Structure 1
Protein backbone atom coordinates (compact mmCIF):
# COMPACT_ATOMS: atom_id res chain seq x y z
CA UNK A 1 0.00 0.00 0.00
CA UNK A 2 1.33 3.42 -0.94
CA UNK A 3 1.87 6.24 1.50
CA UNK A 4 -1.23 8.44 1.05
CA UNK A 5 0.46 11.79 1.59
CA UNK A 6 2.95 11.64 -1.30
CA UNK A 7 0.73 9.65 -3.62
CA UNK A 8 -2.26 11.93 -3.02
CA UNK A 9 -0.17 15.00 -3.66
CA UNK A 10 1.15 13.59 -6.93
CA UNK A 11 -2.33 12.50 -7.98
CA UNK A 12 -3.74 15.96 -7.25
CA UNK A 13 -0.97 17.59 -9.27
CA UNK A 14 -1.56 15.24 -12.19
CA UNK A 15 -5.34 15.81 -12.07
CA UNK A 16 -4.84 19.55 -11.86
CA UNK A 17 -2.52 19.47 -14.88
CA UNK A 18 -5.08 17.47 -16.88
CA UNK A 19 -7.99 19.74 -16.04
CA UNK A 20 -6.14 23.04 -16.23
CA UNK A 21 -6.34 24.89 -19.53
CA UNK A 22 -3.67 27.44 -18.64
CA UNK A 23 -0.03 26.74 -17.87
CA UNK A 24 1.10 27.61 -14.38
CA UNK A 25 3.49 30.52 -13.96
CA UNK A 26 7.08 29.86 -12.86
CA UNK A 27 6.44 31.57 -9.53
CA UNK A 28 3.52 29.22 -8.86
CA UNK A 29 5.82 26.26 -9.47
CA UNK A 30 8.34 27.66 -7.01
CA UNK A 31 5.57 28.10 -4.41
CA UNK A 32 4.36 24.53 -4.95
CA UNK A 33 7.80 23.10 -4.45
CA UNK A 34 8.36 25.06 -1.24
CA UNK A 35 4.90 24.46 0.26
CA UNK A 36 3.79 21.30 1.91
CA UNK A 37 1.45 18.97 0.05
CA UNK A 38 -1.55 19.63 2.25
CA UNK A 39 -0.98 23.33 2.69
CA UNK A 40 -0.90 24.29 -1.00
CA UNK A 41 -3.36 22.08 -2.87
CA UNK A 42 -7.01 21.81 -2.02
CA UNK A 43 -10.30 21.34 -3.84
CA UNK A 44 -10.16 24.93 -5.11
CA UNK A 45 -6.93 24.34 -7.03
CA UNK A 46 -8.24 21.40 -9.06
CA UNK A 47 -9.23 22.30 -12.60
CA UNK A 48 -9.13 25.59 -14.43
CA UNK A 49 -9.19 28.78 -12.39
CA UNK A 50 -12.64 30.32 -12.01
CA UNK A 51 -13.56 32.95 -14.56
CA UNK A 52 -14.19 36.39 -13.19
CA UNK A 53 -17.57 37.40 -14.51
CA UNK A 54 -19.00 40.83 -14.40
CA UNK A 55 -21.46 41.02 -11.55
CA UNK A 56 -25.01 41.48 -12.74
CA UNK A 57 -27.33 42.89 -10.14
CA UNK A 58 -30.73 41.23 -9.99
CA UNK A 59 -32.12 44.29 -8.28
CA UNK A 60 -33.86 47.06 -10.13
CA UNK A 61 -31.58 48.92 -12.52
CA UNK A 62 -32.51 52.50 -13.16
CA UNK A 63 -33.46 53.46 -16.69
CA UNK A 64 -32.77 57.12 -16.12
CA UNK A 65 -30.03 58.14 -13.72
CA UNK A 66 -32.22 60.93 -12.31
CA UNK A 67 -35.04 58.57 -11.30
CA UNK A 68 -35.23 57.90 -7.58
CA UNK A 69 -37.88 55.13 -7.78
CA UNK A 70 -39.54 52.95 -10.37
CA UNK A 71 -43.22 52.77 -11.22
CA UNK A 72 -43.41 49.28 -9.66
CA UNK A 73 -42.37 50.70 -6.27
CA UNK A 74 -45.19 53.25 -6.15
CA UNK A 75 -48.41 51.86 -4.70
CA UNK A 76 -51.42 51.97 -6.97
CA UNK A 77 -53.77 54.74 -5.99
CA UNK A 78 -51.08 56.97 -4.51
CA UNK A 79 -52.01 59.58 -7.10
CA UNK A 80 -55.35 59.86 -5.28
CA UNK A 81 -53.74 60.51 -1.90
CA UNK A 82 -54.47 64.13 -1.09
CA UNK A 83 -52.32 65.21 1.81
CA UNK A 84 -53.96 68.64 1.91
CA UNK A 85 -57.40 67.09 2.49
CA UNK A 86 -57.97 67.31 6.23
CA UNK A 87 -61.30 65.44 6.36
CA UNK A 88 -61.29 62.70 8.99
CA UNK A 89 -60.83 59.10 7.94
CA UNK A 90 -63.76 56.84 8.90
CA UNK A 91 -63.34 53.62 10.85
CA UNK A 92 -63.14 50.55 8.65
CA UNK A 93 -62.59 46.83 8.91
CA UNK A 94 -61.38 44.35 6.28
CA UNK A 95 -62.72 40.80 6.51
CA UNK A 96 -61.48 38.06 4.20
CA UNK A 97 -64.16 35.61 3.08
CA UNK A 98 -63.95 32.04 1.89
CA UNK A 99 -66.62 29.76 0.44
CA UNK A 100 -66.52 26.52 2.39
CA UNK A 101 -68.68 23.46 1.76
CA UNK A 102 -69.07 20.12 3.50
CA UNK A 103 -66.35 18.60 1.32
CA UNK A 104 -63.97 21.23 2.71
CA UNK A 105 -65.12 21.09 6.31
CA UNK A 106 -65.34 17.33 6.85
CA UNK A 107 -63.26 15.73 4.12
CA UNK A 108 -60.70 18.38 3.20
CA UNK A 109 -60.99 17.54 -0.49
CA UNK A 110 -60.35 21.00 -1.94
CA UNK A 111 -57.08 21.57 -0.03
CA UNK A 112 -58.33 24.89 1.38
CA UNK A 113 -56.82 26.26 4.55
CA UNK A 114 -57.66 29.32 6.65
CA UNK A 115 -54.92 31.45 5.08
CA UNK A 116 -55.65 34.52 2.99
CA UNK A 117 -54.34 32.72 -0.10
CA UNK A 118 -57.45 30.53 -0.17
CA UNK A 119 -59.95 33.39 0.23
CA UNK A 120 -62.20 34.38 -2.65
CA UNK A 121 -63.58 37.70 -1.43
CA UNK A 122 -62.84 40.66 0.76
CA UNK A 123 -65.52 42.49 2.76
CA UNK A 124 -64.74 46.09 3.71
CA UNK A 125 -67.04 47.52 6.40
CA UNK A 126 -66.87 51.30 6.67
CA UNK A 127 -68.61 53.23 9.44
CA UNK A 128 -70.12 56.46 8.06
CA UNK A 129 -71.97 58.32 10.81
CA UNK A 130 -74.24 61.18 9.75
CA UNK A 131 -73.96 60.23 6.06
CA UNK A 132 -76.70 59.78 3.49
CA UNK A 133 -76.58 57.44 0.51
CA UNK A 134 -76.53 60.32 -1.97
CA UNK A 135 -73.35 61.71 -0.35
CA UNK A 136 -71.34 58.55 -1.00
CA UNK A 137 -68.93 58.38 -3.97
CA UNK A 138 -67.00 55.10 -4.34
CA UNK A 139 -64.27 54.39 -6.89
CA UNK A 140 -62.44 51.04 -7.11
CA UNK A 141 -59.13 50.23 -8.76
CA UNK A 142 -57.29 46.91 -8.77
CA UNK A 143 -55.54 47.56 -5.44
CA UNK A 144 -57.15 50.79 -4.23
CA UNK A 145 -60.51 51.80 -2.76
CA UNK A 146 -61.35 55.51 -2.94
CA UNK A 147 -64.35 56.65 -0.86
CA UNK A 148 -65.46 60.29 -0.89
CA UNK A 149 -68.08 61.39 1.64
CA UNK A 150 -68.02 64.06 4.34
CA UNK A 151 -65.31 61.67 5.57
CA UNK A 152 -62.57 60.50 3.21
CA UNK A 153 -61.06 57.03 2.90
CA UNK A 154 -58.23 56.17 0.55
CA UNK A 155 -57.47 52.50 1.22
CA UNK A 156 -54.68 50.47 -0.34
CA UNK A 157 -56.07 46.93 -0.54
CA UNK A 158 -53.96 43.96 0.60
CA UNK A 159 -54.85 41.85 -2.48
CA UNK A 160 -55.72 42.71 -6.10
CA UNK A 161 -59.45 42.66 -6.80
CA UNK A 162 -61.79 42.36 -9.75
CA UNK A 163 -63.18 45.89 -9.66
CA UNK A 164 -65.96 45.10 -12.17
CA UNK A 165 -67.42 42.40 -9.88
CA UNK A 166 -67.67 44.50 -6.69
CA UNK A 167 -70.91 45.02 -4.76
CA UNK A 168 -71.64 47.82 -2.31
CA UNK A 169 -74.56 48.15 0.10
CA UNK A 170 -75.29 51.02 2.47
CA UNK A 171 -77.13 50.19 5.71
CA UNK A 172 -78.70 53.44 6.92
CA UNK A 173 -79.86 51.95 10.24
CA UNK A 174 -76.25 51.03 11.18
CA UNK A 175 -74.79 53.92 9.15
CA UNK A 176 -72.35 51.49 7.58
CA UNK A 177 -71.21 50.83 4.02
CA UNK A 178 -70.30 47.23 3.14
CA UNK A 179 -68.26 46.67 0.00
CA UNK A 180 -67.77 43.07 -1.18
CA UNK A 181 -64.77 42.69 -3.48
CA UNK A 182 -63.87 39.51 -5.38
CA UNK A 183 -60.15 38.83 -5.22
CA UNK A 184 -58.07 37.86 -8.25
Structure 2
Protein backbone atom coordinates (compact mmCIF):
# COMPACT_ATOMS: atom_id res chain seq x y z
CA UNK A 1 0.00 0.00 0.00
CA UNK A 2 1.66 3.25 -1.11
CA UNK A 3 0.77 6.73 0.13
CA UNK A 4 1.39 9.81 -2.01
CA UNK A 5 2.86 12.45 0.33
CA UNK A 6 1.48 15.31 -1.78
CA UNK A 7 -2.07 14.16 -1.06
CA UNK A 8 -1.44 14.06 2.72
CA UNK A 9 -1.10 17.79 3.27
CA UNK A 10 -4.41 18.94 4.73
CA UNK A 11 -5.56 18.50 8.32
CA UNK A 12 -8.51 16.32 7.34
CA UNK A 13 -6.22 14.00 5.37
CA UNK A 14 -3.98 13.62 8.43
CA UNK A 15 -6.97 12.84 10.63
CA UNK A 16 -8.17 10.18 8.16
CA UNK A 17 -4.67 8.70 8.08
CA UNK A 18 -4.56 8.67 11.90
CA UNK A 19 -7.95 6.95 12.01
CA UNK A 20 -6.73 4.38 9.49
CA UNK A 21 -3.63 3.69 11.57
CA UNK A 22 -5.68 3.64 14.79
CA UNK A 23 -8.10 1.11 13.30
CA UNK A 24 -5.17 -1.07 12.21
CA UNK A 25 -3.86 -1.03 15.79
CA UNK A 26 -7.23 -2.21 17.15
CA UNK A 27 -7.18 -5.20 14.81
CA UNK A 28 -3.75 -6.25 16.08
CA UNK A 29 -4.56 -6.77 19.80
CA UNK A 30 -1.69 -9.17 20.51
CA UNK A 31 0.91 -6.40 19.97
CA UNK A 32 0.86 -4.66 23.37
CA UNK A 33 3.97 -2.53 22.96
CA UNK A 34 2.39 -0.20 20.36
CA UNK A 35 1.17 3.03 21.97
CA UNK A 36 -2.53 3.70 21.55
CA UNK A 37 -3.00 7.42 21.11
CA UNK A 38 -4.64 9.82 18.72
CA UNK A 39 -2.86 12.51 16.75
CA UNK A 40 -4.05 15.29 19.05
CA UNK A 41 -2.46 13.66 22.11
CA UNK A 42 0.69 12.33 20.44
CA UNK A 43 3.91 13.51 22.05
CA UNK A 44 7.55 12.52 21.58
CA UNK A 45 7.12 10.25 24.59
CA UNK A 46 4.44 8.23 22.82
CA UNK A 47 6.88 6.98 20.17
CA UNK A 48 8.29 3.52 20.79
CA UNK A 49 7.27 0.73 23.14
CA UNK A 50 5.17 1.53 26.19
CA UNK A 51 7.29 1.77 29.29
CA UNK A 52 5.90 0.15 32.37
CA UNK A 53 6.10 2.21 35.54
CA UNK A 54 8.34 0.83 38.21
CA UNK A 55 8.15 1.69 41.86
CA UNK A 56 11.09 1.42 44.18
CA UNK A 57 10.41 0.50 47.74
CA UNK A 58 12.91 0.32 50.51
CA UNK A 59 14.51 2.31 53.26
CA UNK A 60 16.63 5.34 52.55
CA UNK A 61 19.12 6.84 54.92
CA UNK A 62 19.21 10.59 55.17
CA UNK A 63 22.42 12.00 56.53
CA UNK A 64 22.01 14.22 59.56
CA UNK A 65 22.52 17.85 58.73
CA UNK A 66 22.44 21.18 60.41
CA UNK A 67 18.89 22.52 60.20
CA UNK A 68 20.11 26.12 59.92
CA UNK A 69 22.01 25.59 56.66
CA UNK A 70 20.05 25.79 53.44
CA UNK A 71 22.77 24.44 51.11
CA UNK A 72 25.86 22.25 51.23
CA UNK A 73 29.33 23.77 51.16
CA UNK A 74 29.97 21.95 47.84
CA UNK A 75 27.17 23.97 46.22
CA UNK A 76 28.76 27.34 46.99
CA UNK A 77 31.10 28.53 44.21
CA UNK A 78 34.66 29.36 45.20
CA UNK A 79 35.14 33.03 45.97
CA UNK A 80 31.49 33.80 46.72
CA UNK A 81 32.41 34.64 50.30
CA UNK A 82 34.21 37.73 48.96
CA UNK A 83 31.29 38.92 46.83
CA UNK A 84 29.54 41.87 48.39
CA UNK A 85 26.92 43.45 46.14
CA UNK A 86 26.36 46.31 48.57
CA UNK A 87 29.99 47.48 48.50
CA UNK A 88 29.98 51.02 46.99
CA UNK A 89 33.57 50.80 45.70
CA UNK A 90 33.85 50.71 41.93
CA UNK A 91 35.56 48.02 39.89
CA UNK A 92 38.90 49.02 38.35
CA UNK A 93 39.79 48.48 34.72
CA UNK A 94 41.67 45.25 34.16
CA UNK A 95 43.10 43.20 31.35
CA UNK A 96 43.87 39.48 31.19
CA UNK A 97 46.80 38.43 29.01
CA UNK A 98 48.31 35.01 28.42
CA UNK A 99 52.03 34.31 28.21
CA UNK A 100 54.00 31.30 27.04
CA UNK A 101 57.67 30.42 26.91
CA UNK A 102 58.81 29.74 23.38
CA UNK A 103 62.23 29.18 21.88
CA UNK A 104 63.61 29.12 18.37
CA UNK A 105 62.62 25.46 18.03
CA UNK A 106 58.99 26.52 18.57
CA UNK A 107 58.91 29.72 16.50
CA UNK A 108 61.00 28.77 13.48
CA UNK A 109 60.95 25.00 13.34
CA UNK A 110 57.61 24.11 14.96
CA UNK A 111 59.21 21.20 16.80
CA UNK A 112 56.76 21.28 19.72
CA UNK A 113 52.99 21.23 19.61
CA UNK A 114 52.67 24.81 20.87
CA UNK A 115 50.41 27.22 19.04
CA UNK A 116 49.31 30.82 19.81
CA UNK A 117 46.10 29.68 21.56
CA UNK A 118 45.50 30.10 25.29
CA UNK A 119 45.54 26.30 25.66
CA UNK A 120 49.32 26.38 25.15
CA UNK A 121 50.04 29.30 27.49
CA UNK A 122 51.74 28.65 30.81
CA UNK A 123 51.09 31.96 32.56
CA UNK A 124 48.20 34.37 32.99
CA UNK A 125 49.03 38.06 33.45
CA UNK A 126 46.35 40.31 34.94
CA UNK A 127 46.96 44.05 34.64
CA UNK A 128 44.78 46.14 36.95
CA UNK A 129 44.64 49.94 36.67
CA UNK A 130 44.67 51.54 40.13
CA UNK A 131 44.86 55.32 39.80
CA UNK A 132 45.61 57.35 42.93
CA UNK A 133 46.59 54.23 44.86
CA UNK A 134 49.67 53.50 46.94
CA UNK A 135 51.28 50.08 47.14
CA UNK A 136 50.58 49.85 50.87
CA UNK A 137 46.81 50.31 50.29
CA UNK A 138 46.45 47.17 48.15
CA UNK A 139 45.07 43.94 49.62
CA UNK A 140 45.34 40.97 47.26
CA UNK A 141 44.00 37.44 47.84
CA UNK A 142 44.39 34.74 45.19
CA UNK A 143 42.71 31.34 45.23
CA UNK A 144 42.67 28.62 42.59
CA UNK A 145 39.88 30.23 40.54
CA UNK A 146 39.39 33.66 42.10
CA UNK A 147 41.37 36.88 42.41
CA UNK A 148 40.17 39.32 45.09
CA UNK A 149 41.69 42.81 45.14
CA UNK A 150 40.69 45.59 47.52
CA UNK A 151 41.86 49.18 47.92
CA UNK A 152 40.17 52.07 49.73
CA UNK A 153 38.50 53.21 46.47
CA UNK A 154 38.41 50.08 44.26
CA UNK A 155 37.29 46.47 44.59
CA UNK A 156 37.75 43.64 42.09
CA UNK A 157 36.41 40.11 42.46
CA UNK A 158 37.59 38.28 39.34
CA UNK A 159 36.65 34.69 38.53
CA UNK A 160 39.62 33.46 36.52
CA UNK A 161 39.14 31.70 33.17
CA UNK A 162 41.53 28.87 34.14
CA UNK A 163 42.55 27.44 37.51
CA UNK A 164 45.90 28.75 38.71
CA UNK A 165 48.62 27.78 41.16
CA UNK A 166 47.61 30.20 43.90
CA UNK A 167 50.73 29.61 45.99
CA UNK A 168 53.34 30.50 43.34
CA UNK A 169 52.31 33.81 41.82
CA UNK A 170 54.08 37.14 41.42
CA UNK A 171 52.69 40.64 41.79
CA UNK A 172 54.39 43.96 41.14
CA UNK A 173 53.06 47.50 41.33
CA UNK A 174 54.22 49.87 38.59
CA UNK A 175 53.79 53.24 40.30
CA UNK A 176 54.54 55.31 37.17
CA UNK A 177 51.73 53.52 35.27
CA UNK A 178 49.54 53.11 38.37
CA UNK A 179 49.08 49.46 37.42
CA UNK A 180 49.30 46.24 39.38
CA UNK A 181 50.60 43.27 37.35
CA UNK A 182 49.78 39.85 38.73
CA UNK A 183 51.44 36.84 37.04
CA UNK A 184 49.93 33.43 37.84
CA UNK A 185 50.92 29.96 36.66
CA UNK A 186 47.98 28.25 34.93
CA UNK A 187 47.35 24.70 36.16
CA UNK A 188 44.99 22.89 33.81
CA UNK A 189 44.19 19.21 33.95
CA UNK A 190 45.62 18.23 30.55
CA UNK A 191 48.66 20.53 30.35
CA UNK A 192 50.93 17.51 30.06
CA UNK A 193 49.42 16.96 26.60
CA UNK A 194 49.76 20.58 25.45
CA UNK A 195 53.36 20.95 26.61
CA UNK A 196 54.68 17.53 25.60
Task: Indicate whether the TM-score tops 0.5.
Answer: yes
TM norm structure 2: 0.58
Deviation at 1:86, TM superposition (A): 1.1
**Aligned counterparts, 1:42-53, within 5 A:** none
**Aligned counterparts, 1:26-37, within 5 A:** 28=30
Give the root-mean-square deviation of aligned CA atoms. Answer: 2.9
- Post-superposition Cα deviations, 1:58-94, rounded to whole Å, max 9, x if no partner, equal xxxxx99xx9987666432112101110101100000
Unaligned 5+ segments in structure 2 are: 1-27, 32-48, 55-62, 188-196
Residue equivalent to 1:120? 122
**3-state SS in 1 of match to 2:131:** coil
Partners in 2 of 1:53 and 1:114 — Cα distance? Answer: 54
Deviation at 1:52, TM superposition (A): 7.8
Residue equivalent to 1:160? 163
Residue equivalent to 2:139? 137
Residue equivalent to 1:178? 181
* More helix, by proportion: 1
Unaligned 5+ segments in structure 1 are: 1-25, 30-48, 55-62
How many residues are matched?
A: 130
TM norm structure 1: 0.62
Residue equivalent to 2:193? none
Deviation at 1:114, TM superposition (A): 1.4
- Post-superposition Cα deviations, 1:133-171, rounded to whole Å, max 9, x if no partner, equal 110010000000000102101100000000111000001
- 1:72–1:52 CA distance, 2 compared to 1 (3 A): farther
- 1:148–1:106 CA distance, 2 compared to 1 (3 A): same
